[in-house]
Every structure is written in C-alpha cells, then in structure tokens.
Chain A
C-alpha cells in the first residue's frame, strides 16, 4: 500500500475548500447564482460527457455486424418503400422538382435526425437511471454526451448520403457547405423539445411510447415524403409546421439548390434557443425530485 502522504496528494496542496450548502429552497429564487452554477456545471461536465459518449459509441459498434451502415438502413428502407408506392401508383406524389428517390432519401434522412435529437434527452436519462441514483455528477453531462453521440451519428449519415446522391443522379454542389447550419438547427430544435419531454417521460413511461406515434403523424405534415401541397387544409398544416423550413432548406442545399424560407428558419432557431434555455432550467430544477421518484 502506498504511503498516504505521497500516494494521492496531501491535503496541504489544495486550494481553500469550497463550501456547499443545500436546502430544499428552489434554485430559481436566486437567478444569478443559478445561472453561474448552470454554466459551471456545463463546463465541468465536458470531460465526463466525452467519456460517456465514447463508451456508448464504442459499445454500439463493437456489438454490431453492419456497424456504421445501421445509420443508413432506416432512411434507405423508407426511401425504397415510398419509391415503390409512388412508382406503382398506389400513392401519387405531386411533382417534387427533383428525382423522387432523392427527394425521399434526403427528407427521411433529415427527419430521422430530428426524431433522434428529440428523443435523445429522455433516452439518455432513462438509460442512466442507476447512475443518477448512485452518484452526484453534473447532470448536464448526460445531455451533452447525447449531443456528442447524435453529432457522431449525423456525421456518419452525411458521409454516406453524399455518394448516394451522386449514384441516384443528383448533383450536389457548393451549397453542401451550408448543410452544417441545418444540422445545428435540427439539433437545437430537437434538443429544446426533448428537454421538455424528458422530465415527463421519466415519470410516465407511456409518454416515451407516445412520442414515436406523434412523430409519425408529424412526418406526414412535413415535406419529408410528400411535396408541399399548394392549397387547402394540408397546405396550412405544412406552413405552420416549424420543421418545414428546416427540411426544405436542408434538402435544397444537399442537392445543390438555392435555399428558401430563410427568415422563417432564423426565427424558428431563435425561438428554439430560448426554449432550449428554459428546458435546461426545467431539467435542473426537476432532476433531484425525479431521481427520488425513480429510485425510492
């Protein structure tokens, strides 16, 4: 056994000890202090977030045969299904302004990224229930590591979709450099909503099951597999849908076209940023109560 005075560092070399006080009083009563501790925790959680993301990514690909291809299988199968439905005349999609396979592939790919981003916070927290009940660590690390994993998977998808676009007869150009903006927008909106869903989903497991159902419906009022309807009730739904501008622009930039609805997109991102911050506050204030309910 090592000498306690040399082994792991004597007490004397420490800076003055930090004092922690905890009472049941809500953190919201001192917004300044809360804000400082939020960003301090965010900074402190970076390293752990990396570790956790690394663990999950390694484990995910170590166990699977097809590895990185999995990121691509879901959108590909959706694409094939819709190309079949369209070409056989079962469903007639109005003119999309580009080869239909490209339209569906880009749409489903971007939409899948959105649904993943939205489900990440709840998924991260439910998978870490034991960790949360056993140790105190900056809870932000779980959200952050979810974001890192999402970014990694999004990167893999991008690496696969670009050659796929060429194969399908598309002609991506310099606009593709703007796609990261779209990815950021998807991550921002998805995480913001996800942070609001997470506390509820942790308490009531049926919420977690409800999300895919709602998202399935939402996909059909977003220009993912259908073109934007020109008029009628459906057109209204497409227009008030906040994901419409993001998907439309993402697809345009992927296939080398000019963007549209840019102002709308900027506005939606600004709103999502505010929502993200509020979601973060909600996450922090509810976490200790949630852990208690989950484990007690």
Chain B
C-alpha cells in the first residue's frame, strides 16, 4: 500500500506576544484586524524580520519554519524540552489556534486529547459525564449509546457509575475520562502527555489501547516526556528545539540523540563580549559549577558552588536580582534560589562582578540537573539564560542498606529525632 500523506505541515510559524494584553490600544487592534482582512502583514510587526533569536521585541516565536509530513498509519512522537514548542504545535494541529504563517493540511476526522475529562461536571454522575464528555469530543448520542458498556468496563468503575463524580478520587476521574477518549474513532489522533496520570496498571492499558488504535491504520501524534513510552509506541520521532525541528528520523535515532544531548555535561560555559547573553545593561559572561570534592567530582555528598561572572554596563541602581532555576532530568523544577533573598539588594559597581551560590552537600539526588539563570529588573524578567549549564551528580558513599535509585527530585539529609 502506498503511504498516503494525511498531515502536511508547511513552513508553519507561530508568534505569541509577550506581556499583558492591555498594553495594546483598541485602535492598534483594529488596524491589525483590517490589515489581516486585506491579506497584508500585521502592522504591529513584520514576521520576516526574525533572525536567529526566538525573542524579538515583545514577540516570541514559539514555532519557526516547522515543516513535516505524516503518512497514514504512522505513529509520530514529538519530543523536546519544556518550551520547545510541542504544546503550541499540538494546539495548531488540534485547530484550537491558528498559525501566524504557513499552512496545515489534514485529511480525515481529527480528535485531540490534550487533557482527559474536559468539561466534566462534578454534580453529574459518571454516566451523565460520559455522554457529556463524548459530545464535547464530537461523538454522537447513538455512538455513545452503543459504546457505553464498553466504556464503563474500560474505566473499571462500574459500581460508582451512577454516583456524582464529585465523590470520585482524582484517579477515578482520569480513568473515566480516558475511557471515553479511548473509544473515539478518529482518523488522526493527537495525544498530549495524558498518560502521566493514573497507576501503572492503568498506564499499561492506555498504552495498549493506543497501540491497537495505531495498528488499525490510524495516524497518531504523541507527545511525551517519557522516552520509554515514546519508544514503545512510536515509529518515528520529531525533536523540537527552540521552536524548530532539530531532528526528524526513526524513533531510535532521535531519542538516542536527544538523550545524549540531555546528559551531555557542560559544567562550565564562557561567552565572549560579542555573544554573551543579556542586555546593554548587564551581561552574563560565564557560569561554572565547582565541586568541593577534592577530585572535583560532582557527588551527592559534596557541596557545589555555582559561580557567575557578570559584566555590569549600565546598572547604577539597586534593582538587580538573580535567580538560579534548577531542573531535574525529568523536567521538574527541583528548586529556585533567589539572590536578594539571601544577600539583599546592593549597588553594583560598573564592570566585572562575580556572584557565587553554594548548593550544600546532601541536598541533590544522584542524576542530572540543568541550571538556568534568570535576571530580574524592577521585579520583572530581564532575561533568562535557559539551561546555562548542566551537572551530572554521582552517587556518594551510601549510608543504609538501600542500593537502588532513591525516588525524588532531591535527596536532602534531614534531621530525625527520637
């Protein structure tokens, strides 16, 4: 069978405007609306004026020049870090928002599952909510009638099906929501990270259901942070990075490259005057992680100092704050540390400055952490250096008898008393 193209994404871009909406005047909005009507570019900004930077003025390019095709029956995984543009792309594919430029062509009935149980009402019973949720997702009454028993059985909550769902646990609600979604019959299914909820047994069933949907010739686009489920479900993967397609290949290749980059150690980053991130007021010239360990190893039992070299060009007031944002490998924010919370405000001499922040020993867990640096002026975001460095923390000498991986974003040594 010749593979038919069912999704065609050509040169799609999506721009968001940063800041608060009320900054715009009604007259600006009208001028923009008339320009769109006549097919002219938006007078508020020229979309072709974008260089290599994702951010231009108060505009943010969530997607840039994204193009790909998907053949019927293909199961495509979308991977990438937080903020890479995955959610934006899903919203476009689900037709919730429109692209700023470019074109998306889809063949067949599209269902999207960005959340389970959308529209559920707590006062209604499980059965009533099945009909409601089904209708919202585009199922006809007769269709739901025919599938009702199957849906209830799949959810596994037969006994409570006539109870108002406000008495359900959150797990039961998720199961009911997925049970309805699992019985949709689309040609193209767009799924966001909805499997991250529920217990292991239920996740296994969801994954199995999606595989059987894929096996019956339907096209699936699947977004997940969980590389295991991406690899077990998808045949092909697209890696989105800063709004662009970084790689588009077989799932094995793309996931391998992605994981390699995620774990690539960059304990130090140094910039030149020309490419240092920042503004005309202040720039980050270098950032490095230094271990207190004698051999310089990053381990759970050694303190780690984060050192920042700043170049202050023009700040003469008190108003500069720096935050370290520490993410784990699984994209959870482990913690945020705020400079002024610790040392208060100060006048910064113009020229080179060094700031240090020490992460104590026995706080981080073993595993990878990524550190982003946020500069704030007047309480607002000045600029952000995302994932400036990453550190790979090794297991220190263990106390106790547990030799498997400890759960948790952190592993602080806490004080117990008896």
Taking beta carbons and an 8 Å cutoff, which residues of A are in contact with B? Answer: 1-2, 4-5, 7-11, 14, 17-26, 28-29, 47-48, 51-52, 55, 58-59, 62-63, 130-137, 203-204, 288-289, 291-293, 296
Contact = CB atoms under 8 A, between A and B. Distances in A.
A63 B124 CA distance: 11
A23 B215 CA distance: 31
Interface residues of B, number: 56
A133 B118 CA distance: 10
A18 B108 contact: yes
A264 to B, nearest CB: 33
Interface of B: 6, 16, 21-22, 36-37, 39, 94-110, 112, 114-115, 118-119, 121, 123-124, 128, 131-132, 135-138, 140-141, 147, 150, 183-185, 187, 205, 208-209, 212-213, 215-218
A133 to B, nearest CB: 7
Nearest to A48: B135
* Those 8 A-B pairs whose CB atoms lie nearest each other, nearest first: A17-B108, A4-B216, A51-B135, A59-B123, A4-B212, A136-B95, A48-B135, A8-B185
A288 to B, nearest CB: 5
A5 B121 contact: no
Contacts of A4: 212-213, 215-216
B216 A5 contact: yes
Contacts of B137: 135, 137
A11 B136 contact: no
Contacts of A292: 16, 97
Given A20-B105, A47-B135, A55-B128, A7 B150 contact: yes
Contacts of A10: 216
A21 B103 contact: yes
Nearest to A61: B123
A288 B118 contact: no
A135 B114 contact: yes
Contacts of A134: 96, 114-115, 118
B123 A63 contact: yes
A63 B164 CA distance: 12
Contacts of A289: 98
Contacts of B215: 4
Contacts of B131: 51
A17 to B, nearest CB: 4
A288 B92 CA distance: 10
A179 to B, nearest CB: 32
Given A51-B132, A55-B128, A136-B95, 16 more contacts: A11-B187, A14-B187, A18-B107, A18-B108, A20-B106, A23-B102, A24-B102, A25-B39, A47-B135, A47-B141, A48-B135, A131-B119, A134-B114, A137-B136, A137-B138, A288-B96
